[in-house]
């Protein structure tokens, strides 16, 4: 009865109220449209951009199939909700547990580990080349299960899509603006947005000849292969450094640091060593133990050494003026820093922030960037495609290093030992923070063998070049999808 009433209303002449088109984005919706879209009344279900993209798909030169077509898709699921029991990374069954933000990083890492053999985590398991799509909070972010995370467990807040073949083709489609708009139009929830695997069934995807699909697929697979190779080089450089320094594991160093304190983690410090800091975390014995061990095989140098670091910049706070992509510079924060291509959707005005961009915001060559607020200790070496083209927020510190040492410094600071030395400098009660003046007090052990320093530095540069190569391969795949398949 309701459907017949809707059809009748569609045929009737209804007076249209004039809406000021220049001030707001708007569109009219028929009652039958509301019914056909699951009786959903959220404006996002009927947004203008979505309607435009649906028209583009309808007029596509290739036949359309459903995104979860059974001919290609084996499974699509997001895992069950269950209480997690975290374990030590040293446990023989321990594997990384990754959430929606970690899967996007070029080198995913976490401090959370679960027992891979526990049957209640079965729905968290993935296989190599599964497509991952964030489905809670920040929606529609895409990643692929590569060698770096194939043995990990992935959160229920991530949809896993398993295909028989040509995973790279679907991956590239999901990365397009068209697919992102269609995915997000299905969101529900007021405080936290969500989508479900069943919502993907509504999305259509062009089905071009196999040659085009394979070309796109191969580029995506090559991109993830380059990322894996990059991560292996970083691991290799880190191992060389740790072996040369003859550093014990961080767990063994912790035991040594607190070997005199059996009942409670307590320690004393001299008045002369206070350095104006009264926080217990600043004086933890672990730092002294790390520096004692590395001093046996290396010379300690600090980040205030101008021969190593030219400048350390923390941008000042300012009123941000955002503009469209064509007139702005991509603007990234701490959460986006570790991704191959940060897609925040925020662009700073080139005109309004011209001076500030040149002096302190644009990413510069031979830089190491790290968060100055929130989760501290992680670092990222500036990638070639970011230099001069991306701007950092006032929650990131940029450290401009000498070219001969930037890779070496990055490898040490990126290690668990470097992370501890950075974290030691933090201050703040509710939100942890670090300033350039504190970062300058972080020490870096420089090996006495100059050739080893050069080798580690070169490995870091090769790893960074592979990340740039991975970026170009992925962008080429998405460009082919947009131009040759979608006709955008």
Cα distance between residue 403 and residue 240, in whole Å: 20
Cα distance between residue 302 and residue 254, in whole Å: 23
Structure confidence at residue 280 (pLDDT): 76
> Looking at the predicted structure, is the pLDDT value of residue 39 above 90?
no
> Looking at the predicted structure, is the pLDDT value of residue 415 above 70?
yes
Structure confidence at residue 399 (pLDDT): 96
Tell me 429's DSSP state: S
Cα distance between residue 25 and residue 51, in whole Å: 13
Cα distance between residue 107 and residue 64, in whole Å: 35
Structure confidence at residue 188 (pLDDT): 77
Structure confidence at residue 6 (pLDDT): 52
| pLDDT tens by residue, 366-400 | 999 999 998 899 999 999 999 999 999 999 999 99
Cα distance between residue 383 and residue 227, in whole Å: 13
| pLDDT tens by residue, 213-261 | 999 999 999 999 999 999 999 999 999 999 999 999 998 998 888 776 6
Answer with the residue of higher pLDDT: 117 or 43: 117
Q: What is the mean pLDDT of the chain?
A: 88
Structure confidence at residue 245 (pLDDT): 95
Answer with the residue of higher pLDDT: 197 or 282: 197
Number of residues that make up the chain = 488
What's the sign of the alpha-carbon dihedral 17, 21, 26, 30?
positive
| pLDDT tens by residue, 51-103 | 788 888 889 899 999 999 888 899 999 888 889 999 999 899 999 999 988 99
Q: How confident is the model at residue 43 (pLDDT cuts 50, 70, 90)?
A: low
**Which domains occur in the chain, in start order?**
1-37 (no CATH), 66-227+470-485 (3.90.220.20), 229-469 (3.90.220.20)
| pLDDT tens by residue, 442-468 | 999 999 999 999 999 999 999 999 999
Contact indicator for 164, 72 with CB cutoff of 8 Å: yes
∠ at Cα 184 (200, 98), nearest 5°? 80
Name the residue among 411, 414, 375, 370 with its Cα closest to residue 392. Answer: 370
Cα distance between residue 293 and residue 246, in whole Å: 8
Quote the crossing angle between the two packed helices 403-414 and 450-480, to the nearest 10°.
80
Q: How confident is the model at residue 270 (pLDDT cuts 50, 70, 90)?
A: confident
| pLDDT tens by residue, 334-345 | 888 999 988 778
Cα distance between residue 130 and residue 157, in whole Å: 15
Contact indicator for 358, 380 with CB cutoff of 8 Å: no
Structure confidence at residue 260 (pLDDT): 66
Contact indicator for 103, 132 with CB cutoff of 8 Å: yes
Structure confidence at residue 54 (pLDDT): 84
> Looking at the predicted structure, is the pLDDT value of residue 350 above 80?
yes
Structure confidence at residue 20 (pLDDT): 52
Name the residue among 152, 166, 144 with its Cα closest to residue 225. Answer: 144
Name the residue among 235, 249, 199 with its Cα closest to residue 109. Answer: 235
Structure confidence at residue 281 (pLDDT): 78
Contact indicator for 381, 461 with CB cutoff of 8 Å: no
Structure confidence at residue 241 (pLDDT): 97
Residues above pLDDT 90, as percent of the chain:
65
Structure confidence at residue 186 (pLDDT): 78
């Amino acid at each position: 009865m309701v459907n017949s009433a809707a059809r009748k209303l569609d045929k009737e002449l209804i007076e249209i109220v004039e809406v000021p088109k220049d001030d707001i984005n708007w569109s009219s919706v028929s009652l039958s449209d509301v019914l056909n879209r699951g009786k959903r009344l959220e404006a996002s279900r009927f947004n203008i951009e979505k309607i435009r993209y649906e028209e583009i798909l309808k007029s596509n030169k290739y036949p359309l199939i459903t995104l979860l077509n059974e001919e290609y898709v084996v499974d699509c699921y997001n895992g069950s909700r269950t209480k997690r029991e975290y374990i030590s990374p040293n446990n023989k069954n321990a594997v990384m547990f990754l959430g929606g933000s970690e899967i996007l990083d070029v080198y995913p890492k976490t401090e959370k580990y679960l027992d891979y053999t526990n049957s209640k985590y079965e729905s968290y398991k993935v296989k190599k080349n599964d497509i991952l799509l964030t489905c809670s909070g920040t929606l529609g972010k895409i990643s692929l299960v590569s060698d770096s995370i194939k043995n990990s467990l992935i959160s229920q807040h991530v949809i896993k899509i398993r295909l028989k073949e040509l995973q790279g083709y679907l991956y590239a489609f999901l990365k397009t603006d068209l697919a992102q708009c269609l995915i997000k139009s299905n969101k529900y929830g007021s405080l936290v947005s969500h989508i479900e695997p069943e919502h993907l069934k509504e999305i259509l995807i062009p089905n071009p000849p196999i040659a085009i699909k394979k070309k796109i697929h191969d580029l995506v697979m090559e991109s993830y292969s380059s990322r894996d190779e990059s991560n292996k080089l970083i691991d290799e450089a880190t191992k060389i450094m740790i072996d040369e320094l003859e550093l014990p594991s961080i767990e063994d160093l912790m035991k040594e640091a607190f070997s005199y304190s059996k009942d409670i983690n307590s320690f004393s410090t001299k008045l002369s060593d206070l350095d104006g800091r009264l926080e217990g975390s600043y004086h933890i014995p672990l730092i002294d133990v790390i520096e004692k061990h590395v001093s046996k095989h290396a010379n300690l140098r600090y980040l205030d050494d101008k021969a190593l670091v030219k400048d350390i910049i923390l941008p000042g706070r300012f009123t941000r003026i955002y503009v469209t992509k064509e007139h702005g510079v991509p603007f990234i924060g701490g959460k986006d820093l570790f991704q191959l291509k940060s897609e925040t959707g925020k662009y700073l005005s080139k005109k309004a922030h011209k001076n500030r961009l040149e002096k302190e915001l644009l990413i510069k060559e031979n830089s190491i960037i790290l968060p100055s607020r929130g989760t501290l200790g992680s670092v990222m070496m500036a990638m070639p495609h970011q230099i001069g083209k991306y701007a950092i927020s006032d929650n990131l510190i940029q450290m401009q290093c000498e070219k001969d040492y930037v890779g070496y410094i990055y490898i040490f600071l990126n290690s668990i030992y470097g992370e501890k030395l950075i974290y030691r400098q933090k201050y703040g009660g509710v939100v942890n923070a670090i300033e350039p003046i504190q970062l300058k007090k972080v020490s870096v052990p420089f090996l006495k063998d100059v050739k080893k320093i050069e080798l580690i530095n070169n490995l870091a540069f090769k790893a960074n070049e592979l990340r740039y190569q991975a970026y170009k391969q992925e962008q080429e795949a998405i460009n082919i999808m947009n131009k040759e398949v979608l006709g955008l």
